A and B are shown apart, each in its own frame.
Chain A
């Protein structure tokens, strides 16, 4: 058995992509999965900040041959593993053949040992982000109800549909303020996809479907957890946002 790889991406930055990745990893681990989060935001890694880790060994050291991959896989709070990019990876923010090969090599080496690999990608649709997503079995898009976030999420969906011919993408709406907001937003996105994206695809007979994994309500506890650099699911497992992320994990596993 090898791991199922899911890329978490967002279009716009600052929508809680890394927050969702880390807490989803925790929720999946609580459900018995062996989870690895790979910080694939090569130019702007901040998984270490979210998890309050001070990594001595990072992907950079693996890429440059200074360390074994084994040593770079670190235990994180929340009972999952992480592979951190570290700030030394600034020079990899452009997709060179070298970065391409090394990333692929690393992912191939870790897949046999985990049930789930979460690729926390960078924001936007740069070539590094698109390449990282291309290595994943599934795509999870994180958006907030904010207009620029939705527009950028739609742009990402469109590019992935046309360039990678993906027929299914998962959606998490973060920071919702109304009970039905996530479902409404999924509907809005699907409506534009049906009208503009599916007809332009190579095989319009197989429509692109956006699947809502859940909405995570705006919750003051989230900010508190981020400030304290703790996993929300560990700090306040009973709060609304924690429960919502649990729901996302359940839906992903269903």
Chain B
């Protein structure tokens, strides 16, 4: 691969961009014309590198680094705002079999197709990342516990509905198992703890037969509907005597 042209009046003189430019070229990013301004050009180089370092090259999803940044931000947010947020860990079922039977190129096609299916399921504020190997992770801010299982099931069915053509006439049916955990309300969790709780549910989904979603049970509310009813009933304008 030939190295793309570098502006000649480099400053500082020691700036070496050859490796960076090669990476950007490989990723297909078009840089603005150097003649339009060196600062803009350099900014585009930096932005391009940031983008590259936050994405998984195979699937184009956020990579683990980007996921951890997003998770830290979400932990900050829920700790103060107390809003519900869900983390899902998603693992492709029997992925090793695909690799062993059809080869690693087929495995890559499966990873890409699952990534596409996951990407099609999310809202703009959600994060979906390739966590590692055949495991994916999702952060769903502002997801009420009552909707959690519905969301996870929708993702499961979306993947189940797609088969991957790994060779002419050879289609592989793919399913995923999902495990999810909600952020503890008002408590600052830590990233490893939150992921661990979702992971435990993923193990449960695997153990219960795969192609299913298991969510950690949200803590039981301490206040029943009757109690709430009484708390907000009638005597709004009555004074009380202590």
> Could you tell me which A residues sit within 8 Å of B by CB distance?
12-14, 43-44, 90-91, 93-94, 122-126, 128, 147, 150-151, 154-155, 158-159, 180, 183-184, 186-192, 195-196, 211-212
Distance of B80 from chain A, by nearest CB (Å): 7
The 0/1 profile, CB within 8 Å of A marked 1, for residues 157-198 of chain B is: 000000000000000000000000000111111100100000
Contact call A195/B189, Cβ cutoff below 8 A: no
Distance of B71 from chain A, by nearest CB (Å): 14
> Which of B128-136, B147-155, B221-229 forms part of the interface with chain A?
B221-229
Residue of A nearest to B76 (CB): A44
Distance of A127 from chain B, by nearest CB (Å): 9
- Check B235 for interface membership: any CB of A closer than 8 A: yes
Contact call A91/B190, Cβ cutoff below 8 A: yes
Contact call B193/A155, Cβ cutoff below 8 A: no
Main secondary structure of the interface of B (DSSP, over half): loop
Contact call B231/A188, Cβ cutoff below 8 A: yes
Contact call B185/A14, Cβ cutoff below 8 A: no
Contact call A196/B187, Cβ cutoff below 8 A: no
Contact call A190/B227, Cβ cutoff below 8 A: no
Complex formed: what's the CA distance from A183 to B185 in Å? 29
> Could you tell me which B residues sit within 8 Å of A by CB distance?
79-82, 184-190, 193, 221-224, 226-228, 230-233, 235-240, 242
Residue of B nearest to A125 (CB): B222
Q: A93-B190, A94-B193, A151-B223 are in contact. Are A184 and B239 (CB under 8 A)?
A: yes
Complex formed: what's the CA distance from A168 to B236 in Å? 24
Complex formed: what's the CA distance from A150 to B242 in Å? 18
Distance of B230 from chain A, by nearest CB (Å): 5
Cβ contact of B231, chosen from A14, A124, A150, A159, cutoff 8 A: A150
Complex formed: what's the CA distance from A43 to B188 in Å? 5
Contact call B188/A44, Cβ cutoff below 8 A: yes
Residue of A nearest to B242 (CB): A212
Residue of B nearest to A94 (CB): B193
Contact call A123/B82, Cβ cutoff below 8 A: yes
Contact call B227/A196, Cβ cutoff below 8 A: yes
Contact call A93/B187, Cβ cutoff below 8 A: yes
Complex formed: what's the CA distance from A12 to B130 in Å? 35
List of B residues within 8 angstroms of A126 by Cβ: 184, 186-187
Contact call B242/A211, Cβ cutoff below 8 A: yes
Complex formed: what's the CA distance from A101 to B186 in Å? 23
